[in-house]
Amino acid sequence: MGKDRDQWLIDGRDLGAPVNWRDFEINAVFSQEDETSPIDENQASLSIESLIWTGPAAEYISNRFKSGLTGGPGAFQGVPVSWVISNETGSFTAFQGYIDFTQNYRERKFKGPRRTQPTEVVTTIVDDFGIDSLIASVNGITMDTIREDFNSSDWTDIPFVIIKKFDFIEFFMMWLSLYVILKSLADARRALDDLFADIPTNPLGLIGWIAKLILTLAYIAFLLAQLIVLVQQIINLLFSKKRIHKGLKLKKLLEVGLTKAGYTFVSPIEELDFYTILPTLPTEKSNFLEELFNKVRVTKEGLPSVNDYGFAFLEVMTLCRNLFNARFAVYNNNGTKEVHLRTKGDQWWFKQSNQSLLEAPDGQNILVDDVGYNLEELKLNRYLKFSDDPLDIWTKEDKQGLTYEVQTRSSPNWDEGGIPLEKGLDFIQIPYALGSRKAFLTDLEEFVLTVVSTAESVINFFGGNLNFSDDIRARMNFLKISSPEISVPKLLYIENGGIPPGHRGKLGAKILQEKYYRSSSFVNASDAEPFNNQYQTFEGIDIQFDLTRFLETRQNSYFITKDGESGKIESFNWKRSEDKATLKARFRFVYDKSLTETTFELKNDDD
């Protein structure tokens, strides 16, 4: 077989290879400590640092850096770089990325005293299909950036009603007023009957009778008007008018935002099709007429508002990571940059894994004889919590799904002097409030419905045409809020135009723990392998690591050995010239079955 030929292309041009290309090292880091970032821990954060260019390559890179002075891309636009390897079987691109001038770009050995014509430049190249490139691409995207990429059909209708906390005194006064008006109407009707029973025949008496008739009819009209207003007030108190907010499905938001950044979104997480953002109302100038008539404002689009968590697109990605205990990863699908969002426990990671990473050239597994254990990763408590909206009393009244806690402890063995070592809190705060559903009419509402139906009969007897009662019965399965204002954005489960029964069992802290965070448990990660988050850890292991293994491993940190042991890489340092890499990794290894979990769920008072 012929020898490999390495070629480095800058902006598609062969301007010569870096002078140190035979000696460069690639550092790949998989494990990330920052839980507020959506960066993946299954795919490497990868870059090639301190590449030194001379000759035409250095001149081109330097001119490209300064091109912003003459209308060119300038210093804040990356320069495409490809590493192409050719041999007798053909050629392929081993690495495709870009020069990032913001990462330690240096110019050296200038031709003249003005420091404008370097003969040598030092660059860092970032992987174009890597997670770092993804973060850099989306980091500046906000909802204002992508607003024009949506159309009206992208918004999701969220029907809602405003239902205040019941005020007995207010309701009693309305009921008393209703009684007085109905009694007055009954008296006015009898007076009207008496008038028609005694119509005078003389002209003078007839004039007085007509005046009484006009006054009686005016009085009846006044009472009817007051009755209509009062009935409407009662309905508004207990049976708010149906209105429509506009929301946005998480999947659509991710698709549009990532398309803006140049990626295609892929995810098997089914909840993304139903979880819907209801943003807070944007700040607007006060409208005197709207305030006078107490007009309720509604959201006209589903994008998070400027003060909402999620206005920056990177926050949307972080929200999805935390909701589903998931990770984003970038994959090259025949030149298409795909961003995958997959849960931490998705077996897809293992399907993509390298089957023989720790296999030596003689076919035997490399011996690992110095290991540690991942005890520090066990947290005493995992606590999932959705936010409260102080303006919406129902977010506190409807407690189901708001919080869920899992406590992990070892079984006490005091006879042997056991001292508990578990510690730490894994606090997952979801900065969105859950919604409450209008599910049924209470006994009081049923009673009021009867009263309203009676009032309708009276009004319609006098020629009115009201049908409030049917409207009342139709206002089920809507979002229920206690205030027209929203101070915290909501995350809602919307299906078939409304909030379905049992929605808190589909969107809430408990279901997220059981379906997605269970895979992180030290005790109950899965039915088949309950302890598979216990690991032996090792570092400083040198393995044979050629280009093929590099291309496989950079995409996925999971591996399976020849003997069937599964593991995960945390980092590696690859020396291209030696075809070797130094690993820091871990094997799945059960070392403690004494652990137990206890769960605590906040429930409604009537549960």
78 dihedral zone (left: phi>0; alpha: psi -120 to 50; beta): beta
Q: Does any domain span residue 115?
A: yes
Residue 210 lies in a domain: yes
One domain, residues 172 and 123: no
At 358-394, the pLDDT tens digits run: 655 555 566 677 889 989 888 889 999 999 999 998 8
Q: How many CB atoms lie within 10 A of CB 31?
A: 14
Is residue 410 within 8 Å of residue 523, measured between CB atoms?
A: no
Instruction: Answer whether 305's CB lies under 8 Å from 311's CB.
Output: yes
> Per-residue pLDDT for 421 more than 60?
yes
In whole angstroms, what is the distance from residue 251 CA to residue 261 CA?
Answer: 16
Number of domains in the chain: 2
pLDDT at 292 over 60: no
Residues in the chain: 607
Measure the CA–CA gap between 518 and 532, rounded to whole angstroms.
Answer: 11
Same domain, 107 and 177: no
114 and 193 housed in the same domain:
no
Has residue 179 been placed in a domain?
A: yes
pLDDT of 235 > 70? The answer is: no
Residue 354 has pLDDT above 60, yes or no: no
172 in any annotated domain? yes
Phi/psi at 561 (5° precision) = -80, 175
Domain that holds residue 214: 168-239+441-475
| Predicted confidence (pLDDT) at residue 247 exceeds the cutoff of 90 | yes
Taking 80 as the threshold, does the pLDDT of residue 323 lie above it?
yes
Helix and strand numbers (H, E) in the chain are 14, 26
In a domain? residue 496: no
Q: Residue range 525-554: average pLDDT?
A: 82
Q: Reduced to 3 states, what is the DSSP secondary structure of residue 346?
A: coil
Query: Are 119 and 11 within one domain?
Result: yes
> Average pLDDT, stretch 510-519?
93
- Do 19 and 112 reside in the same domain of the chain? yes
Whole-number pLDDT of residue 145: 95
Looking at the structure, do residues 116 and 19 belong to the same domain, yes or no? yes
Structure tokens at 357: 């990473």
As given in the structure block, the two tokens for residue 505 are: 């069992």
177-194 pLDDT per residue, tens:
777 778 887 888 787 777
Alpha helices for 67-102 (secondary structure H): none
Task: Verify that 120 and 178 share a domain, yes or no.
Answer: no
Q: What is the pLDDT of residue 35?
A: 52
Same domain, 17 and 123: yes
- Nearest partner of 593 among 498, 503, 523, judged by Cα: 523
Question: What is residue 297's three-state secondary structure?
Answer: coil
CA angle 203–208–212, rounded 5-degree value: 140
Statement: the pTM of the whole predicted model exceeds 0.85:
no
Do the domain assignments include residue 353? no
* Beta partners for residue 433, in sequence order: 387, 490
Looking at the structure, tell me whether residues 175 and 233 fall in a common domain: yes
What pLDDT, on the 0 to 100 scale, is given for residue 288?
46
Q: Where are the alpha helices (DSSP H) in 466-564?
A: 468-473, 509-512, 547-553
Q: Tell me the pLDDT band of 283, cut-offs 50, 70 and 90.
A: low
In-domain check, residue 569: no
- Say whether pLDDT at 453 is over 80: no
